[in-house]
Chain A
Amino acid sequence: MLKSPNSASKSTYWVMIGGVVLVHTVLAFRFFQLQILDFDIYNRRAESNRIRAMSIPAPRGLILDRHGEIIVDNFPTYILYGIGAEIINEKHNYNVISQSTGIDTTILKKNYQNYYRNRFVPTRLAKDLTINQLSRLEEEKNELSGIIYKQFPERAYNQKIHASHVLGYLKEIDRQSIEKLGKDNQFEYGDLIGWSGIEKNYESSLRGKKGVTYYQVDAFGREVGKIGGQENILPNPGKNITTTLDVSLQQLLETELRGRRGVGIVSRPETGGILAYVSAPHYNPDLFTGLISNSDWQSVIADTNRPLLDRAANGLYPPGSIFKMVVAIALLEKKLINPQVEIFCSGSYEFYDRTFGCWNQNGHGKINLEQAIVQSCDVYFYQVIQKIKLDELAEVAKQFGFGLETYIDLPSELKGIMPTRQFMNRLYGRWGWAQGALLNMAIGQGEILVTPLQMARYINMLATKGKTRTLHIVQNKNHNIPEPDISIGSWNLIQDYMSKVVTAPKGTGRRSNPKIPGLKIWGKTGTAENPHGEPHAWYIAYGEKDGEMISVVILLENGGHGGEVATPLARNVFKHYFNSNKMKLAKK
């Protein structure tokens, strides 16, 4: 092992020592050259000339609708910065800026404190400066020290629509998020970052790459020229994003829902593409750019209508009678009912010591499955539901996406609840609940909770007999909806019933029919009882004409009866879409 002797010669040793000395001498000489010989050059550069590197913001990508109409645009504004190390008389500076721009000195001071990082980095004083303010400031340039400005592309929104919950908003990045995102992502304090909606989900595409400009400035912060050999790096604008939204349809639906609390979703069942997505009331995305004032924030938070809540993805509601198709399909598939057999509805149903009412207190009389769906009879379903077990019902509901995410390309959504035996046992204890709970679920009440987005997927599945695609606003997140295991007979039967909901004289959905020749509509109303007052009004429907199909989901919080208040909104959507579509086809 360690027995071979050291054979190194004296001359090898001296060559090595020579090498070490040589390396250190070269380094020492280089330091000597920089620090002693060229001291004057570098000292002057350090003292009187500062090299400044300023990032050039990259314009964010535009957001377009399906026809290429711009929904979110950029417009140039100017931002004013102060550099602490170069400011000579802070007070004088603020006064001059205030006089020529009209911005209050307290605001300037407050901004300077908020954005301050250290005395060498440009700190933001004011934003949204107009070219007029800027030119007046430019005249006073000699009075100022350490003040610079740069152009900044800011978000501008299409005037026709809000779509605030889909588009999302930008927010100034805070310190915690910067640390989380790391320095690689080249974020600076005060940068805007997509904080919700598409702006957040597609942040990496929308955000471009910043550029850098290098220049020398003199002791007064005035630009004196470029640095030789140092090329500017141009910014790389973000990618434009084409959504599936349709501006005119979105506009219509927003108008319909104005002044109400509710949701409207229009999508194409075959593709899952969303044409309109409204959660009312909306909020103003401009609210979040820049420093939001405390009072503004408080008023938004305190608003009992909760405008910030995206009701379509994050609102949970009982589905009410629109759940009845699931119950019917589950019973048909298990061959537990004969759709022709009639059941008598007296307006209420006695179950042990409890009375379950039908919405129609006068009763529907003798009624079969078709009429039970068309007239939305509750008593019929109270009786037939007793033939099926809760877990069997939940299994079918799950195939329609109840209790599961839709995987829409938005940053947050809720899953809702589809109770199972296990769920109920956990919630109430093994003996804490009884068959009566199932009766409630038969009409979509009780523990079942859904989001309107889930209902959009549900109606799309009914429209395509299970062959729909995942809902999306820009593109599908590589997710596929598994096709439910349901016989073609059941699909046809249910579609037939849903068609009669709209066409039959007693159908609850007849108000949704705009009566356009060639347009056929299928639908189902719902009236969801809830502890917050009036019932929520639901209507889910789809219409087809000349091979073109769209689906509509309408939810009005505490709106009343679905058949009365929700259906007219759907009618206007169908009318608008299939009329304007006809015009478009005619133009071609």
Chain B
Amino acid sequence: MTEFLQQLLNGLSLGAIYALIALGYTMVYGVLRFINFAHSDVFMVGAFIGYYVGEHLPSGTVLGGLVVLAAAMAGCAVLGIVIERLVYRPLRGGPTLNVLITAIGMSLFLEYTGQLVFGATPRAFPSIFPAKVISVHGLIISMNQLIVILVATVLMVALEFTVFRTKIGTAMRAVALNPKAAQLVGINIDIVISFTFGLGSALAAAGGVLYALNYPSIDPLMGVVPGLKAFVAAVLGGVGNIPGAALGALILGMVETFVDGSRWSTYKDAIAFAILIGILLFRPAGLLGRLSAEKV
């Protein structure tokens, strides 16, 4: 029983990280209708910003940890906005294939430049929050896992608030629903899109720092696999649907953890893609999404 509960906790913690990344994917897809392949590398940059900032701070303090988190989020928000402005905006309105290719190019560029600049060897992420382990009836709860779950929840609540109760959030939803109509009622699309990118990238950065906290070995290619899985989670929940992304991520995290502990652990990467294909076959709208008709 303890083993089951332990795996449950592990799955929750993993799912929380996937959720943070998935949210960025889903928001950008909702607003711009394309998969931002570079998102997983923003996640990586967030972890590296956290690494460099964390090196200069005393380790093991809550304040230090929060500073690192904030720095990474701010840095990546800027990165996301810059990428959108320079590379995606000029292609807006053109064929989506072109933007997709550009996004892939951007993703590869970040990865391989990262390898040149940071070196391909994995680095040790500093332990920025106090690292403690509590034992409850044989169930091991690490401080880092709790922090991941806590921070992820706080950020998701904040996101929900932003999207549903602020003006800019409403503007985001309007653009997601119908860009032309949103422009007609006076919404500045450029600002909304920049904001969406910034917000999504900040969340990815938080995901990166929290991921590095739990698995303290970072390298320039660390975003590839988690990013892919987070996207699967977003599709699972229904792309463009924010609670859906969180739900999908949670489910994926759980499934992956339980497969990991079983005989089939080496197939766990394949499981995520099998889920993707399954969902696309049987319920393309995702668990919480609604299939929208494409209008000509």
Q: Are A and B a genuine interacting pair, yes or no? A: no
Residues of B within 8 A of A (CB): none
Residues of A within 8 A of B (CB): none
